[in-house]
Amino acid sequence: MLFACSSKPDPADVAAQAAKQYYGYLLEGKCDAFVDGHYYPDSIPGSYREQLIDNAKMFVGQQKEEHQGIKAVRVDNAQADTLNHVASVFLVLTYKDGTNEEVVVPMVEHHGLWYMK
């Protein structure tokens, strides 16, 4: 007799891939997509969203000035608390000047999707 095993993806892995994708948007110059990867319990005014996009653009510009820009993003580690629908994702940003920086990205799951907090 054969049994089909269905295994659910590890929530920490799913959160990690989402965080990596959101930071990948910065590499692609898609600051609007990066901002949209944040969780907002309520809708935000368009003017506030534009300010957040401008802040993301300033962050990218600062990284270009200080480190010649971000070259790559990789997941170092991720830990999920499935009971509370949150995770901490540790990303390593590799800069074009050869330096690395680890950042912690707090994540929250909402309706099955992972967003940055």
Q: Which amino acid is at 39?
A: Y
- What secondary structure does DSSP assign to the chain, as a single string? -------PPPHHHHHHHHHHHHHHHHHTT-HHHHHHTB--SS---HHHHHHHHHHHHHHHHHHHHHHSSEEEEEEEEEEEETTTTEEEEEEEEEETTS-EEEEEEEEEEETTEEEE-
Q: Tens-of-pLDDT digits for all 117 residues of the chain?
A: 455 555 789 999 999 999 999 999 999 999 999 999 999 988 899 999 999 999 999 999 999 999 999 999 999 999 999 999 999 999 999 999 999 999 999 999 999 999 999
Whether the Cβ atoms of residue 73 and residue 8 lie closer than 8 Å to each other: no
Class of the CATH domain delimited by 11-116: alpha beta
Tell me the C-alpha distance between 19 and 114, whole Å. 8
Per-residue pLDDT, 8: 84
